[in-house]
Amino acid sequence: MKSIIKISCFCILFVLVNNLQSFAETIIPSGNVSGNWTVTGSPYKISGHIFVPSGLTLSISPGVRVEFQGHYKVLVQGRVIAIGNLTDSIRFTADDKFTGW
């Protein structure tokens, strides 16, 4: 009986942790951006014009979704590295699919 309870508790904990990861999001306000955008912070919701300054890099990991909340620009004077793979794409999309970004 104890082993069934342990297995049940483990299964419930596993489902809760996986569901919490799927609800993560990062709001990106207007301004300078750089660093690493990873799956754990995805989707990255762009809420203003963003800028990668000269000498800085924005790296976007496979599996990340970048979702524009309106008609905002990405201005790059530095570098953007966004390399997905066959099993884990990087998606750039819009909150409103009809108006796009």
Give per-residue pLDDT as tens, 26-48. 999 999 999 999 999 999 999 99
pLDDT of residue 14: 47
* 79-82 β-sheet, strand order: 35-37, 57-60, 79-82
pLDDT above 70 covers a percentage of the chain that reads 77
| This prediction's pTM | 0.75
Taking the C-alpha atoms of residue 86 and residue 97, their distance in angstroms, rounded to an integer, is 24
What is the token pair recorded at 77? 């004077």
Q: Do the Cβ atoms of 43 and 63 come closer than 8 Å?
A: no
Q: 């530095």: which residue's tokens? A: 78
